[in-house]
Structure 1
Amino acid sequence: MCLTTNQFPEQASDSTVVNKINQVLGREKERLYVGLYVRGSTPKMAGGEDEYHWAFLAGPKQHPKSGSRHIMYHAKEKLVKSGTPPQIRPEWQYVNDSNRAAMLLVRVLVGKIVDHERLERIFKAVPLRTEDANWNCVLWMEDAFRMMVQDGGAITTSVQDWASVRDKAMSYVEQKKAAHRFDGKDPSIVFDPAKPATWDMLTDTEMTP
């Protein structure tokens, strides 16, 4: 079956019909999440944010395995060889790759993606501050979020400030840790990487407990 708005000219202005056609074609707006991942190092930030690795995640809102169908956008520290004589040193790089679902702890939904190419251009333009020893993936996220909101054309969102996103993500992951969602101490909880705990900041409700 193939449906297009050209086949329904009189209804093309009807958002309900257009949205239904987009659903059939698989063109629904993807959601943009903030994801917190397992990170094996001691946090240095005052709020403990760097206990986790942070990334933006693009993925569907509703899918049986939506938690494992993401594209990650994040800053990642890698070892590179450079200089004369060549020396190995750490360098921050922007990375766009497939999701590491098994390491994902929680997601926080922050917007709906309306222009993927524009979003990726914004992420690629975020400065990488390798020369700053205290810079990290959390600070990259803060800069990227601010640039997204200021741009206004890549996502639609009612969330306007990074502090509220950061605070919600941190309180949410701590809540889930206290409830033993990740450590197996509560036998009634089965950890499923395909169904990460998810909070929707657009409606202020929990999507997946």
Structure 2
Amino acid sequence: MPSNKRRLYIALYPSGVVNNEERKYHWGFLIGPKVEAKFVIPGGRYHVKNSPFGWTYEEILLKNVRATNSLLARILIAKIEDEQRLIALLRRLPVVQGDSNWRCRTWVASALAEIAKDGKCVGTAELDWQKIEAFARRYVADKAASGRYQSVEDILKPKPTWDMIEDKESIP
């Protein structure tokens, strides 16, 4: 019987910091369905964001997980076994204040470590932060170099998506 497990993605957005390669992107998670047959695919975004009041955890239901505002790319990293368990795990992660080295990428890295340690919320997965981060940075840089983010038509399309489980691009 075919599986229809929801998917966990790493999401990259521009951070607004252009002169610092490490801080060039905002990192978060997206959750969406396995099958994306329609143009508009509902899902959710899970991330931490910095505001004038400090870092806060945020969950947002999305009308279209393939094309959220300013999304640069999605990297599929896992098939979800227990979505409620996964979301509860994300909600429990510490949100650190007052440490200038702690950022959204730090939170994503710690989330991946906790997901791996949990062993029950995802099944087939790539959870190695160093591998994911290096690949995601290269993927977005290659897309930018090829002009993928320059025209309005391209910006409105579903965003580039790479499947790290099957090692293939699903949306160019």
Q: Structure 1 stretches (4+) deviating beyond 2 angstroms?
A: 41-44
Distance 1:39 1:140 in 2: 15
Distance 2:7 2:81 in 1: 9
Question: What residue is the counterpart of 1:9 in the other structure?
Answer: none
Q: Where in structure 2 are the equivalents of 1:18-57 lying within 5 Å?
A: 19=2, 28-42=4-18, 44=20, 48-57=21-30
Task: State the aligned residue count.
Answer: 167
When the two chains are superposed, the root-mean-square deviation of aligned CA atoms in Å is 2.0
Distance 2:141 2:74 in 1: 13
Other structure's SS at 2:143 match: helix
Query: Is residue 2:170 matched to residue 1:203?
Result: no
- Pick one of 110, 115, 134 that aligns with 1:148: 115
Instruction: State the Cα deviation string for residues 66-116 of structure 1 (Å, max 9, x = none).
Output: 6x5330110111223xxxxxxxxxx11111113471311101000011111
**1:201 alignment partner AA:** M
Distance 1:65 1:146 in 2: 33
Other structure's SS at 1:97 match: strand
Identity of aligned residues (%): 33
Distance 2:19 2:94 in 1: 22
**TM-aligned CA distance change 1:140 to 1:178, over 3 Å:** same
Other structure's SS at 1:95 match: strand
Question: TM-score if structure 1 supplies the norm length?
Answer: 0.73
**1:104 alignment partner AA:** L
- Pick one of 48, 60, 67 that aligns with 2:33: 60
Distance 2:129 2:118 in 1: 15
Question: TM-score if structure 2 supplies the norm length?
Answer: 0.88
Other structure's SS at 1:141 match: helix
